[in-house]
Chains A and B, each alone.
Chain A
Amino acid sequence: MLETFFNLEIARSAWPIILAGLGNTVLLSLVVVPLGLTGGLGLAMLASVRKPWVRYPLMAWVDFFRAFPPLVLLIFLFAGLPFAGLELGGFACVCIAFFLNTGAYYGEILRAGIESVPSGQTEAARSTGLGRVQTMLFVVLPQAVRNVLHDLLSNTLEVVKLTALGSVVAMPELLFQARQAQSLTYNPTPIVLAAVIYFVMLWPLVRLLSRLENRALAVRV
């Protein structure tokens, strides 16, 4: 058992491959999280325009991309679009898919956050002479983010986990590299190693989320 799943020798020889994968996973996360946040912020800003011709298409857009499995979106971009003459490559496909999918999730969360800020805040800020944009940036958004911090972090955790999908379109991230090492060595140790790395990397965030959840409940009761 130990020989198979925790083979030190194989772990040592696979280490450089895995490490390169870890680097790429971190880089990929650093690209897709801000990308998703930007998309979400755009959607949330649009949602504060209370016109039916903005509101309903926006809702449809968000629900559409929340209903669509991210892997299906990714495969559609990666394997479908080339037929329309659009060959984008794995990285670009991952970026677009994450922008659309996680943008919708971030958008929902930020919208809820912005709606949770009492309108008196906006009115007060506007009456002191701040412009619309300034009011949003300096008064509403800081409070909104604080109100939905737990959901934002929880979604960010999901986004980082989702980068493992990159392996399906041959992005050399952690899971892909581990699969490569596994097929080279005929031993599952590299996959165990990758799992351990994911766990060590994300456990602090999971713990923090549990903490925040408990504190939120303690406040409510």
Chain B
Amino acid sequence: MSAWDRFLEAFFNPVVMSRYLPDILKGTLLTIELAALIIVSGLALGLALALLRSFGFRPLNLLIIFVVDLFRALPPLVIIVFIYFGLPAVGLSPSGFVSTWLSLMFVLMAFSEEIYWAGITSIPKGQWEAARSTGLTYGHALMSVVLPQALRLTIPPLTNRTIAITKGTALASVVAVGEILGMASSAVSNSYNPSPLTMGAVAYLILFLPMVVFGRYLETRMAWKR
């Protein structure tokens, strides 16, 4: 058997691949589920924090800034490990899935708050003043005048950041979640063949490559308009 055959036998083994394809598919579904939960809850919480911050209540703002800084400074894996291995010491034992969801949700919340806030503060004062002088309330001016303009600015950085954080779902494999990488890793140790890892890699590319290309497209498009 030549080296090339051995390589194919190891990384593209058809028998192993067909045997573990259902597992990888199951893992892919779980990754999608986890990613969707993280994206929706993280972006919503981030927006909520940015809106709270815009009211300019100083003690609350300092607290928001601290929480945001905290989750920007900590590695996501450290947060996951803390929730999964640390919280059981006080009687809470979230599953690996919930631990990963909560951790990456907080991380996305922190990063998106920062981006939303940058968007809101980049809207010129005149917009606020004009909206308020036509009789709109503060909340109305924020919702109907400032936010629509701010959100447009935030789309490209938000997309890129969301992709980067969502890729972190692979970290769930460290706390025994059967998402793509978890499924692939256990399949490798069961079959003693790395083909499941190849399949896992392909699954990640199918999920994330379109998102990366879309992010690049958004970036160049928005750059033109500015």
List chain A residues, Cβ under 8 A from B78: 164, 175, 191, 194-195, 198
Chain A nearest CB from B156 CB (Å) reads 12
| Complex interface: chain A residues within 8 A of B181 (CB) | 69, 71-72, 75
CB–CB A75/B212 < 8 A: no
CB of B15 closer than 8 Å to a CB of A: no
Closest to B223 in A: A112
Given contacts A164-B77, A182-B85, contact A217 B118 (CB under 8 A): yes
Are the C-beta atoms of B209 and A64 separated by less than 8 Å? Answer: yes
Which A-chain residue is minimally distant from B198 (CB atoms)? A80
| Beta-carbon contact of A192 and B82 below 8 Å | yes
Q: Taking CB as reference atom, which chain B residue is nearest A187?
A: B89
Binds B, one of A42-50, A136-144, A206-214: A206-214
Determine if A68 is an interface residue (Cβ-Cβ < 8 Å): yes
The interface size of chain A toward B, counting residues with CB under 8 Å, comes to: 51
Which of B74, B121, B173, B213 is the one whose CB lies under 8 Å from A161?
B74
Question: Would you call A84 an interface residue if the criterion is a C-beta within 8 Å of the partner chain's C-beta atoms?
Answer: yes
Smallest Cβ-Cβ distance to A161: which chain B residue: B75
Q: Contact at A64–B205, with CB atoms within 8 Å?
A: yes
Decide if B193 is an interface residue (CB 8 Å cutoff). yes
A contact face: mostly helix, strand, loop, or mixed: helix
With contacts A83-B11, A175-B75, A214-B121 taken as known, whether A191 is within 8 angstroms of B86 at the C-beta atoms is yes
Q: Can you name the residue of chain B whose Cβ is closest to the Cβ of A74?
A: B170
Q: How far is the CA of A214 from the CA of B117 in the complex (A)?
A: 10
Would you give the shortest CB distance from A201 to chain B, in whole angstroms?
8
Give residues of chain B (54-104) contacting chain A, Cβ–Cβ below 8 Å: 65, 69-70, 72-79, 81-82, 85-87, 89-90
Asked whether, in the complex, the Cβ of B212 is within 8 Å of the Cβ of A80, the reply is no
Residues from 1 to 54 in B contacting A, C-beta threshold 8 Å: 6-7, 10-11
> Which residues in A have some Cβ–Cβ distance to B below 8 Å?
1, 4-5, 63-64, 66-72, 75-76, 79-80, 83-84, 157-158, 161-165, 167-168, 175, 178-179, 182, 187-188, 191-192, 194-195, 198-199, 202-203, 205-207, 209-210, 213-214, 217, 220-221
Q: Provide a sorted-by-A list of 25 A–B residue pairs whose CB atoms are within 8 angstroms.
A: A1-B90, A4-B90, A63-B213, A66-B212, A67-B212, A68-B201, A68-B204, A68-B205, A72-B181, A76-B201, A79-B188, A79-B197, A80-B194, A162-B75, A168-B77, A179-B85, A182-B85, A187-B89, A192-B82, A202-B73, A203-B69, A203-B73, A206-B69, A217-B121, A217-B122
By Cβ-Cβ distance, the 8 closest A-B pairs, closest first, are A188-B86, A164-B75, A69-B170, A67-B208, A161-B75, A80-B194, A202-B73, A69-B167
